[in-house]
Amino acid sequence: MAYNAVETITRKRDGGRLADDQIRWLIDAYTRGAVADEQMSAMAMAVFFQGLDDRELGVWTDAMIASGQRADFTGLSRYAVDKHSTGGVGDKITLPLAPLVAACGAAVPQLSGRGLGHTGGTLDKMEAIPGWRADLSDEAMRAQLDRIGAVICAAGAGLAPADKKLYALRDVTGTIEAIPLICSSIMSKKIAEGAAGLVLDVKVGSGAFMKTPERARELATRMVGLGHAAGVQTVALLTDMSTPLGLAVGNALEVAESVEVLAGGGPADVVELTLTLAREMVAMAGLDADPAAVLASGKAMDVWRAMVTAQGGDPDAPLPVARHTEVVTAEASGYLTRLDALGVGVASWRLGAGRTRKEDAVQAGAGITLHAKPGDPVVAGRPLLTLHTDTPERFADARAALAGAIVIGPTPPEPVPLVWDRIAP
């Protein structure tokens, strides 16, 4: 049956259900350029308001996978398990997690992206390491997984090209937050990547796309369903993003903190989340290993050094340091009751750690060091944050982003759990 874009858009706009072949035609035609950007923009907005039911979402995701290649890790000597985070502030978990799970015996193909806006990108962090390169051929990636067990690299252009086009469109049309489009974007790439298992870290809170547990749970449930239907073992954890993770926000700063974790130190929340996700991935792979013991043994650090070296990086090289710093002090004594993740993320972005457009450069040394977390006692006039940048004219805009993000009270706040929930098929 022949379809056309206007009929397809109006059907969804009016709350109708799209036929399977109609969805496949739409995604294929858009990828080939037969459906124009303005037409797909209208469709994205129709989906934003009318949604996709489970069958529509499954077909939509399959069509996006079918727009390109599929990787296959079945020939590896290890079980391939991946982790995906929906993005947050100070979220450097991939860096210690990939080598840790590899040291436990799994293969961890972390095909990652760059940051946009207030959330950081894994590739931007790794590129702060002198010499490290993100682009690997499929053959080099497979060889590294077999030999070392972990790789962090850029996804090839052949994986789900429909998503690349549609994501860029959503970014400029106000439809990023549509849950069906988030689901299909993440899961089309993750299923196409070919891992047998997938653990999803779905962030909840001010610094996340999903501001409420209800929306995060809906997103997680639908993604787990897509993975399960595609034959990929999938579980999701809902984790807190009301406060930045760890004490470092920014590319080189987060690499340094990740290395601290691999060395047996690091902030308690980063260590806790790394171990929690590692246990999920190790269990999925059917391995008899204790991630905490493996981390303490130093084996994860050995894998990190081998992984960085294999991709041209020098694990012993000094990391970039920003040329200018400015300290933000506590305005009162008491307890830090709130440190808003969004405010800190936007401030770090304005300092140069993030980008507004995909083609923008980032400053490797820019970002923010936290000297206290919610619940900690603070003293008036003592440092709360240190701002880092190569361009000191950015300090004023960064401080403006922090207005209202820091709250000091007479009593400590109620502790917020790091892991809110676990979603499984």
Specify whether 184 is catalytic: no
Write down all domains in the chain, each with its CATH number in brackets.
5-51 (1.20.970.10), 81-310 (3.40.1030.10), 324-409 (3.90.1170.30)
Specify whether 242 is catalytic: no
SS3 of residue 358 by DSSP = coil
pLDDT at residue 225, as a whole number: 97
Scanning the structure block, which residue is given the tokens 């995909």? 358
242-273 CB burial, b ≥16 within 10 A, e <16: bbbbbbbbbbbbbbbbbbbbbeeebbebbbeb
What is the residue-wise DSSP string for 83-152? Answer: EEE---SS--THHHHHHHHHHTT-BEEEEE---BTTB--HHHHHTTSTT------HHHHHHHHHHTSEEE
Specify whether 358 is catalytic: no
Task: State the average pLDDT for the chain.
Answer: 95
Specify whether 394 is catalytic: no
pLDDT at residue 1, as a whole number: 66
CA triple 193-228-231, angle to 5 deg: 55
pLDDT at residue 227, as a whole number: 97
Instruction: Give the Cβ contact number of residue 362 at 10 Å.
Output: 22
Q: Which of 107-121, 160-174, 198-212 has the lowest mean pLDDT?
A: 107-121
DSSP 69: B
Using alpha carbons, select from 272, 243, 207 the residue that is nearest to residue 385.
243
| Tokens matching residue 229 | 């239907």
Residue 209 — very low, low, confident or very high, per pLDDT cuts 50/70/90?
Answer: confident
Catalytic position from the list 189, 217, 350, 388: 189
pLDDT at residue 117, as a whole number: 65
pLDDT at residue 356, as a whole number: 72
Mean pLDDT, rounded, for 125-142 = 94
Using alpha carbons, select from 139, 137, 140, 188 the residue that is nearest to residue 161.
188
| Predicted TM-score of the model (pTM) | 0.95
Mean pLDDT, rounded, for 143-166 = 91
Beta pairing class for 150-154 and 108-112? parallel
The larger pLDDT score, comparing residue 354 to residue 32, is at 32
Catalytic position from the list 62, 82, 91, 163: 163
Catalytic position from the list 85, 112, 184, 185: 185
pLDDT at residue 253, as a whole number: 98
189 neighbors 111 (Cβ within 8 angstroms): yes
Using alpha carbons, select from 100, 112, 80, 119 the residue that is nearest to residue 277.
100
Our measurement of the distance from residue 209's CA atom to the centroid of its chain's CA atoms, rounded to an integer in Å, reads 11
> For residue 143, what are the contacts with CB-CB under 8 A and spacing of at least 6?
none
Specify whether 185 is catalytic: yes
Q: Which helix or strand (DSSP H or E) is residue 15 part of?
A: none
Per-residue pLDDT for 234 more than 90?
yes
Which conformational region is residue 220 in: left (phi greater than 0), alpha (psi within -120 to 50 degrees), or beta? alpha
Per-residue pLDDT for 158 more than 90?
no
Catalytic position from the list 11, 24, 84, 118: 84
332 neighbors 408 (Cβ within 8 angstroms): yes
DSSP 159: B
68-82 CB burial, b ≥16 within 10 A, e <16: bbebebeebebbbbb
pLDDT tens-place string over residues 252-311: 999 999 999 999 999 999 999 999 999 999 999 999 999 999 999 999 999 999 999 999
Q: Which of 138-142, 149-153, 371-375 has the lowest mean pLDDT?
A: 138-142
Mean pLDDT, rounded, for 54-83 = 93
Distance CA 136, CA 77 (A): 20
Mean pLDDT, rounded, for 68-92 = 92
Could you give the percent of the chain with pLDDT greater than 90? Answer: 87
Per-residue pLDDT for 140 more than 90?
yes
> For residue 392, what are the contacts with CB-CB under 8 A and spacing of at least 6?
324, 326
pLDDT tens-place string over residues 302-354: 999 999 999 999 999 999 999 999 999 999 999 999 999 999 999 999 999 98
pLDDT at residue 157, as a whole number: 75
pLDDT at residue 116, as a whole number: 65
Distance CA 3, CA 146 (A): 45
Catalytic position from the list 11, 118, 164, 170: 170
What is the residue-wise DSSP string for 311-344? Answer: TT--TTSPPP--SEEEEEEPSSSEEEEEE-HHHH
pLDDT at residue 13, as a whole number: 97
